[in-house]
Structure 1
Amino acid sequence: MNYILFDDTLVHGALLPLTYTRPISHIRLGIVTIAEKWLHFLQGEVSYLTEGFLQKKYISVWGEDNLLINGSLCPDQNLITVIKKLSPGESLQCGNVLVALRTPHPLKDCRDVITQAEKTTVHTYTGTLTQVRQLSDIFLLNGSQIRSDYAWITEKRISKEITDPHTIMYNPSQIFLEEGAKTKACILNAENGPIYIGKYADIQEGSIIRGPFAIGESSIVALGAKMRGEITIGPHCKIGGEVSNSILFGFSNKGHDGYLGNSILGEWCNLGADTNTSNLKNDYGLVKQWSYAEKDFVDTGRQFVGLVMGDHSKAGINTMFNTGTVVGVSANIFGGNFPPKHIPSFTWGGADGLDTYRLDRALEVAQRVLERKAILLTAEDREILTYVFHATHGIQ
């Protein structure tokens, strides 16, 4: 069977700016990305059918028998069982969600999936779906996904032993350390959910961690940090200060004091010292947030919504983000007072005004940042960032 994770175009648009630089299935949710969950449950390789400007980096591989699966869905064993029972020319639907489609026909575009599904015999899925449909779903689902990922990642495995005599553990059976992970004089409280510490991760002195919590390979929890639960820190990150119900996809830093709550940072982001995010309005009302799909601020229906920041964006010291702020890709924010609640991609400035961040300078900085991790900015990466720049600033 040839497995392909496809993007629902409406959902992909609703998840911008995070999906400017990745398919939906490369969103980190729980301990791993959605794609990595499917890799585990399918026990097979996957490729991707996504928006055209991403397709060079995230390619589609077609065979004589292709099972296309909605990449905004998180798998579970029941869903896997039903999907694998589909025969060629059949599809699986749950309400208005196309779950999966089995076809011998290669498709050129993710928009063709719906058209192809209309030609199939449709079956109805009666189970419960876990789906990311809007930005706030990512942090709302994160705690439960940490729990479910922890179960299969640690099944029949033994955690590395914590030998530091000054590390305090609560419910140690729900604390798992991978090879090379280390802790020093910290508090790990897994009474409310598991704590997963990835390879070579470093939990430094005085930090307090409450589960559910996950930290990826070679990431650091800085001295005296307070992690309040339902948090995922991806690989090669540094996290400090006070954090609650937030996700860093990877290669991003919030290394200093300051609060981050109900927020999502993409890759290669950096928050300067004492950066703070508001996640609750003073009047306790529902939060409005910029929608790229609607090109306007829309009601999230949520009371707690913090910052969403696309890849390669940075904030200077003492930056204050208002409730529900959305920052695009490769933005550079600095200065006093609150910057706008929507900061477009490739812009430079803050409360006093925004200017266009030149593409050549932005690519130069991106390359410099990646080189610090011995990673190259590929031609495909440059094409994606150039597309986002042109789309943002109306260049044909």
Structure 2
Amino acid sequence: MRSIILFDDPKIRLQLLPFTYTRPVAKIRCGIWTIAEKWNDWLQTSTSFQTENYLSTRFPAIHSTDQIYINGALCPDTLLVEAIEKLTDESVLISTDNEILAIKTSSSDWTPAAGTNSFNKLVYSESVIMIRRIWDVFSGNGVQIKSDFERILASRKSAGLTDPFTHCYNPENIFIEEGAVIRASVLNAENGPIYIGKNALIQEGSTIQGPFAIGESSVLAQGTKIRPNTSVGPFCKVGGEVSNSVIFGYSNKGHDGYLGNAVLGEWCNLGANTNNSNLKNDHTAVKLHSYVTGKLESTDLLFCGLFMGDYSKAGISTMFNTGTVVGVNVNVFGAGFQPKHVPSYSWGGNAEGFTEYRFEKAIAVAKDTVSRRGVTFDETDEAILLEVFGQTKNQR
């Protein structure tokens, strides 16, 4: 029996903060599925994770006598999966840029730090899709929606649309799961597929342009405007206008306001009329806080908005500047544009100033947030957030 283990590349993990403070790289959502869910589907098995020690209790690695380690930032495709399946014992698949793509070994002790000198090297000359930086999550989202959609469509049939007041453009490019409810909306899949998850609710007057995906039991509020290349994970509430953005899951943007070229983690909440800028007035490339250098670094992107880590919240009418990074467990509010980087466990706003968000208070709010969705917040979750609190203390 073989084990498929998705490993965190240390360099990539650092580039994907703040999202990888609280999850392995492969638990990032891009498209309809997370990276791990993609591999589960392509390989028809359950994957596990090799990640930071403090995350391993929640996301353990499962070993056997035969391991295939796959880079957790790597998105599968037909040629790549074929190449990995053909790996012989004690061999490594590397890219033309010398990145480790996959390793097949009997050892349960391999880590990226161990390197690849003892393995038979095979160079993979085809192009690969890697989620290397946080802006790759939204910039690659449309392509990944299409890829995931094709996998779903190849093996299952859509439940179909029953509402007579909803109009669909290119209905064969729309997949609706059982239990989903759509009321008096417009679904335009002419330029990309639309996926509606199990028990999702699309309320009256919503307009959707594909590529778009919404996960299980998520809700689009009345009159929501969804622009292309947007993914909403499971158990979210979304309203207002959203464009080319990814919301991982269990997060709320339930009211009017604009979210564009953005990524929200889990258990986030944006208050009513919260907006982010995604284009600078002078139309120059957006700079973003780098956890690698601690400085603003160019993304080389014209459009780039908000990145918000897990458990963070914004008060009503909060304004986020172009290319803003908000850490984990932040409570941000008040007048004026917020700073380009709001460190984890910060409380306050640009006008009022920031103080440290007391850990005990932050955990109490996190527990209440999670319990409202009928999900258990346990000692492992608290231990992860305590570790993040310690790791980020020198940022505040």
Shorter-chain TM-score tier: over 0.9
Instruction: Name the amino acid aligned to 2:389.
Output: F
Deviation per CA, 1:58-108, whole angstroms, max 9, x where unpaired?
Answer: 111122211101010000121111111111111010022100111122227
Q: TM-score, normalised by structure 1?
A: 0.97
Deviation, 1:114, is 4.6
Q: For residues 179 and 131 of structure 1, do their structure 2 counterparts lie closer, same or farther at Cα, with a shift above 3 Å needed? A: same
Listed as ranges, the matches of 1:148-227 within 5 Å are 148-227=147-226
Deviation, 1:116, is 4.0
Q: Supply the distance in 2 between the matched residues of 1:161 and 1:85 (Cα, whole angstroms).
A: 39
Tell me which residue corresponds to 2:363.
363
Tell me which residue corresponds to 1:387.
387
The farther-off stretch of 75-84 and 320-329 is 75-84
Q: Supply the distance in 2 between the matched residues of 1:14 and 1:52 (Cα, whole angstroms).
A: 18
Tell me which residue corresponds to 1:136.
135
The farther-off stretch of 385-394 and 302-311 is 385-394
Instruction: Name the amino acid aligned to 1:97.
Output: E
Q: Supply the distance in 1 between the matched residues of 2:42 and 2:163 (Cα, whole angstroms).
A: 35
Q: Supply the distance in 2 between the matched residues of 1:270 and 1:345 (Cα, whole angstroms).
A: 15
The farther-off stretch of 17-26 and 38-47 is 38-47
Q: Supply the distance in 2 between the matched residues of 1:196 and 1:65 (Cα, whole angstroms).
A: 36
Instruction: Name the amino acid aligned to 2:169.
Output: Y
Tell me which residue corresponds to 1:67.
68
Tell me which residue corresponds to 1:283.
282
Tell me which residue corresponds to 2:293.
294
Deviation, 1:118, is 1.8
- 1:97 is the counterpart of 2:99: yes
Q: Supply the distance in 2 between the matched residues of 1:337 and 1:301 (Cα, whole angstroms).
A: 26
Paired positions, count = 392
Tell me which residue corresponds to 2:302.
303
Tell me which residue corresponds to 2:12.
11
Tell me which residue corresponds to 1:250.
249
Q: Supply the distance in 1 between the matched residues of 2:45 and 2:159 (Cα, whole angstroms).
A: 28
Q: Supply the distance in 1 between the matched residues of 2:113 and 2:79 (Cα, whole angstroms).
A: 23
Q: Supply the distance in 1 between the matched residues of 2:252 and 2:276 (Cα, whole angstroms).
A: 15
Q: Supply the distance in 2 between the matched residues of 1:157 and 1:135 (Cα, whole angstroms).
A: 32
Instruction: Name the amino acid aligned to 2:100.
Output: L
Instruction: Name the amino acid aligned to 1:104.
Output: S
Q: Supply the distance in 2 between the matched residues of 1:40 and 1:319 (Cα, whole angstroms).
A: 39
Q: Supply the distance in 1 between the matched residues of 2:198 and 2:384 (Cα, whole angstroms).
A: 30
Q: Supply the distance in 2 between the matched residues of 1:20 and 1:226 (Cα, whole angstroms).
A: 31
CA RMSD of aligned residues (A): 1.1
Instruction: Name the amino acid aligned to 2:290.
Output: S
Q: 3-state DSSP class of the match of 1:217?
A: coil
Deviation, 1:31, is 0.2
Q: Supply the distance in 2 between the matched residues of 1:80 and 1:165 (Cα, whole angstroms).
A: 42
Deviation, 1:374, is 0.9
Deviation, 1:113, is 2.3
Deviation, 1:154, is 2.1
- 1:372 is the counterpart of 2:339: no
Q: 3-state DSSP class of the match of 2:104?
A: strand
Deviation, 1:161, is 2.4
* Structure 1 contact 250–267 (Cα < 8 Å) conserved: yes
Instruction: Name the amino acid aligned to 2:272.
Output: A
* Structure 1 contact 107–113 (Cα < 8 Å) conserved: no
Q: 3-state DSSP class of the match of 1:86?
A: coil
Deviation per CA, 1:156-189, whole angstroms, max 9, x where unpaired?
Answer: 4221221211101100000111001011110000
Q: Supply the distance in 2 between the matched residues of 1:163 and 1:105 (Cα, whole angstroms).
A: 53
Tell me which residue corresponds to 1:324.
323
Percent of paired sites with the same residue: 50
Deviation per CA, 1:106-160, whole angstroms, max 9, x where unpaired?
Answer: 227xxx3252422111000011101111111110110000001001112242212
Instruction: Name the amino acid aligned to 1:100.
Output: A
Q: Which runs of 4+ in 1 moved over 6 A?
A: none
- 1:86 is the counterpart of 2:87: yes
Segments of 5+ residues of structure 1 without an aligned counterpart are: none
Q: 3-state DSSP class of the match of 1:117?
A: coil
